[in-house]
Chains A and B, each alone.
Chain A
């Protein structure tokens, strides 16, 4: 007959201190993800770039106010208008020289109009500093990005978790609502809100609030459906944990990867959305500048003053690219196949 279980001795478990000691340093999920993210150089560069840009945009509020960027000297428009970027160094294209429309030789409008100041990024058609206007535009883009993120987190995540957790009829109804809302074109939503509230950043943010969280909600809901059947969620339930706590402690941390990646996709979309709207005059109202409105204003002068369109475009592309690259890096870092041991 087999031995009785009492005959079994727990081998080597006499001193639990000495035994079963794990020598490897404790790595949390986040530390692990961070370690993997660091392997992706592009993502790290993008991350620092975005942190720098964000910091710069916040600090810039002190030395470049909205008024600074909007005001111009109406008596001297002719003197200050369309000045090319001048770095003060002999760099071609950044030395304050430009070929005026119709001219064959480059001239120095700074010297010709007797302008003492150096405009690092040139001026626009009525003599406002392009640098300052781009900074203001950048702030608006980032404001839109941050609002989109918050909306994604607050509305998208809670809507998704609630719908998935409740399941049944509630889930069906909530998902149909999402489908209906996502079938309405964004442009119509913004136009309607623009009609109601007047166009501007607020309308854009409200439009994003109405529609921007839909795909987040759908993703989170799908994750919730699969996570809520997990044993650890059942264990929490059997311990008497409330639904809210289960969502906060078990569901959301386990879909953090999905959520972050989703945000990284929403943000560049939102930034582009704002730019497109401003470019077609549904966005910010003049004289406020946004990257989109700067681009559309400069369009007509593209052949003569290309820097006026290149500078805001470059900024827009760089931020979007940084978000996309960082998002890619984060997706790899949170890759479920790699993170599950």
Chain B
């Protein structure tokens, strides 16, 4: 690594998480995944439903205990954090949840939901300060001030998602995991929320792990993209490289599924079927750098073939 590469904020090394380990219903939700997230970047994680994206996010936040492997945040091993360092970590990294409905406690007022992090970390000295802070956050996400005394069920999905964003921002985190923050929303609101998140990122110099299941949205917000399938990370590269020069057949298949808003092109669009035998044939595969900064999970021969294909 050269000096000009930005600092690594999050590093996953050979992370594994198996649900129901050793039982007949074992699920390898995360299967030997390694990647880094640099400070100030937006890392997009895409993959189909059930590929383990949420699980990765939650494991990074120490909500799930990994089966094996390490997660480093800001140079410290997350799984070993305790006491003061743990609360520091909790303050620095936050999550926006996939399901805005489920992530808000229906028995609490919006004010108390948003202020939860403020209370935990004693960020407000008085009740007035607390209310002002909640007010600021509501403004930030474009909600009205008399929303603070209401209950979550009175809001629309988009508004709830913004409440969730305000809650995550309340503790002034450095790193935010946005777990499909827009997939539960209708298209008009999706743009609102994505814009809001981009704006916040600029304003607060945040680092995002942006999880989504389709590449088209992620491309606009992400600097780099990782593609996941069945718990494995198949490809990592800059947004441009992954989107325009995909290497792995799975990525190609994902891309071929995106509709194009041009009738002529769209009518010629051909869906590329993905042959998953490339993951299940039992060969040893590692992350190989095919182009600078563009990695793919492959055997040496496959990597060479991908490289040839590119030219």
Contacts and interface: CB of A to CB of B under 8 A. Distances in A.
Contacts of B63: 234, 237-238
B106 A254 contact: yes
B139 interface: yes
Interface stretch (A2-10, A43-51, A158-166): A2-10
Contact of A26 (B106, B108, B150, B192): B150
Given A16-B143, A254-B106, A231 B99 contact: yes
B97 A235 contact: yes
Chain B contact-residue range equals 35 or more
Given A16-B142, A239-B90, A231 B103 contact: yes
A88 interface: no
**Most B CB within 10 A of own CB, among A22, A232, A245:** A232
B144 A17 contact: yes
A232 B191 contact: no
A27 B154 CA distance: 9
A21 interface: yes
Contacts of B103: 231-232, 234-235
Contact of B220 (A5, A28, A236, A242): A5
Nearest to A8: B191
Contacts of A38: none
B78 interface: no
B105 A250 contact: yes
8 contacts: A8-B194, A13-B192, A21-B146, A231-B102, A234-B58, A236-B116, A250-B107, A341-B153
Interface of A: 1-2, 4-6, 8, 10-11, 13, 16-17, 19-22, 24, 26-29, 230-232, 234-242, 245, 249-250, 253-254, 256, 340-341
Interface of B: 58, 61-63, 86-87, 90-91, 93-95, 97-99, 102-109, 116-117, 120-121, 139, 142-147, 149-151, 153-155, 159, 164, 167, 171, 188, 191-192, 194-195, 198, 216, 220-221, 261
Given A8-B192, A253-B107, 17 more contacts: A5-B220, A10-B142, A20-B144, A22-B150, A22-B155, A26-B151, A232-B103, A234-B58, A234-B63, A235-B116, A237-B63, A238-B93, A239-B171, A240-B120, A254-B105, A256-B107, A340-B106
